[in-house]
């Protein structure tokens, strides 16, 4: 069984192949199957923010929406600035420290400052 990759726009995993494209059932975004994932010359995946800007270690970012912290009553508020991010592999690409603690965030909820 082959699995379709997560949507390149909304990052949801509810995708399916359709002819020569992948289609996201959640947002309707379509992209070609032949397109290779974004990567730089070193072969590592490129992490982009919600506007498509490439993120790097040490960048400052801002949250673009309120995020509830799973397993806690804490909410990270929209507009909160996060300094000195660290890029990591996996589902959540950004590791950061804030006043409320250390968090792993998805890049689609961040905007580069």
For position 6, which CATH number holds? Answer: 2.20.25.10
For the stretch 11-67, pLDDT in tens is 788 888 888 888 888 888 888 877 545 555 555 678 899 998 999 999 999 999 999
pLDDT of 102 above 80: yes
Q: Are residues 25 and 62 in the same domain?
A: no
Q: Are residues 2 and 27 in the same domain?
A: yes
Closest among 32, 28, 8 to 20, alpha carbons compared? 32
In which band, very low, low, confident or very high, does the pLDDT at 79 lie, cut at 50, 70 and 90? very high
The total number of structural domains in the chain stands at: 2
Look at residue 1 in the predicted model and tell me its pLDDT.
45
**Which single residue is written with the structure tokens 């082959």?**
2
Alpha-carbon span 111 to 86, nearest angstrom: 14
Look at residue 16 in the predicted model and tell me its pLDDT.
87
8 A C-beta contact, residue 58 and residue 71: no
Q: pTM for the whole thing? A: 0.61
Would you report the helix, strand and coil content of the chain in percent, each value rounded to 5?
5, 35, 65
Q: Are residues 86 and 109 in the same domain?
A: yes
8 A C-beta contact, residue 94 and residue 85: yes
């Amino acid at each position: 069984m082959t699995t379709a990759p997560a949507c390149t726009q909304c990052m949801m995993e509810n995708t399916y192949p359709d002819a020569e494209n992948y289609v996201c059932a959640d947002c309707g975004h379509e992209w070609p199957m032949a397109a290779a994932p974004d990567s730089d010359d070193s072969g590592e995946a490129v992490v982009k923010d919600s506007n498509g800007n490439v993120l790097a270690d040490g960048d400052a970012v801002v949250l673009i929406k309120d995020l509830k912290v799973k397993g806690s009553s804490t909410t990270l508020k929209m507009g909160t600035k996060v300094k000195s991010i660290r890029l990591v592999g996996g589902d959540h690409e950004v590791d950061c420290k804030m006043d409320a603690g250390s968090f792993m965030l998805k890049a689609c909820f961040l905007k580069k400052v």
